[in-house]
Amino acid sequence: MLIEQLRERSDLGVISARALKSLGVTNPWLRCRSGGPWQRMYDGVVLLHNGPPTRDQQVTAALLRAGPGAVLTGAEACRRHGLPASGQEIHVLVPGSVRGSGSLIVERASPMPASADVGGFPAVSAARAVVDACRQLRSEDAVTALVAAAVQKGRCTPESLRAQARTNRYGTRLVRVVLEDLSRAESVAERDARRLSRRIRLPTPHWNVPIADADGVVIGRPDAWFDDVGLAWEIDSKAFHYGLRDYERTLARNSRYAAAGVLVVQTLPNRLRDDPEQVAQELKKAHRAASARPRPPVRMV
């Protein structure tokens, strides 16, 4: 059979040895030897060329090796959901028992979680993928970064992550610690902000308290309020400004702060995660600037 016909019967050039034998290729492994035209991806799985496989070909081969009903989870599923997960292993869930190999993690799941087509491959929900990816991590910072990205990008909620961690408790200690820490803040960004504020040795801010001007009119509810100098810290995501009404509310809030003499530091959540030292310097400079001028007649409600 011509190679073009074999490719037509394959998926991205990936095909099972059993399928090859049914098509008349009696010993496909001879063609997978060093210098041969094909290569073996896993036991029983062949790639119909000998060059470096693409990531999609690797995923296709992993799912074929895992068998019918296999779905992606973990880091690879996270990336398919648009999340910046680390780790190059391919983690799949299966309804039966299949052994993994090398960078392929095969895990039996009962019952099997719901899945959907994500970028052309069957994958679990973002929440399940994040929790399974966190189970492979050994650093709390790495777990925090992935959880933060998932929530800030709107792929899942803290509640959905907690539900997955409760359902699949094996290996989820770190993600449960991170989620417990998150529960004491109103958002992942606020959690990161609280951690940063404890490191920079400024007076302890008040969190999410309304502040009023000299006439008693509430002018805002900053994420953090440094009452000693009248400095507000707002953690504003880009997503918050995509809607015109939200953008108008932010402008109105900042105008009220300015009219009351309140200095404001605005920080994007991703900068808290990716560039905390620079954010710390900006906050310290703003605090010094605020202390150098008379404190505005603003009070916490």
* Mean pLDDT value across residues 26-32: 90
Each residue's pLDDT tens digit, 170-217:
889 999 988 887 766 556 677 788 888 888 888 989 998 999 999 999
The one-letter code for the residue type at 15 is I
Each residue's pLDDT tens digit, 110-145:
889 999 999 899 999 999 999 999 999 988 878 888
Torsion from C-alpha of 199, 200, 203, 204, nearest 10 degrees: -30
pLDDT at 246: 66
pLDDT category, 255, cuts 50, 70, 90?
Answer: very high
CA distance 106 to 128: 15
Q: Report whether pLDDT(1) > 60.
A: no
CA proximity to 219, closest of 228, 210, 227: 210
Q: Any idea where the domains of the chain sit in the sequence? A: 3-53, 58-183, 190-300
Whole-prediction pTM? 0.67
* Mean pLDDT value across residues 101-105: 81
The one-letter code for the residue type at 56 is D
- List, in sequence order, every beta strand (DSSP E) within the chain: 14-16, 39-42, 45-47, 71-73, 90-94, 104-108, 115-118, 121-124, 206-207, 211-212, 218-220, 224-226, 231-235, 263-267, 299-300
Maximum mean pLDDT: which of 1-5, 60-64, 102-106, 195-199:
60-64
DSSP assignment of 41-99: EETTEEESSSSPPPHHHHHHHHHHHH-TT-EEEHHHHHHHTT-------EEEEESS---
Calculate ∠ Cα 224-230-236, nearest 5°.
35
CATH number, domain 190-300, options 3.40.50, 1.10.3470, 3.40.960, 2.60.40: 3.40.960
CA distance 7 to 288: 68
pLDDT category, 240, cuts 50, 70, 90?
Answer: very low
pLDDT category, 279, cuts 50, 70, 90?
Answer: very high
* Mean pLDDT value across residues 233-258: 73
pLDDT at 87: 83
* Mean pLDDT value across residues 75-85: 94
Q: Report whether pLDDT(244) > 60.
A: no
* Mean pLDDT value across residues 60-81: 96
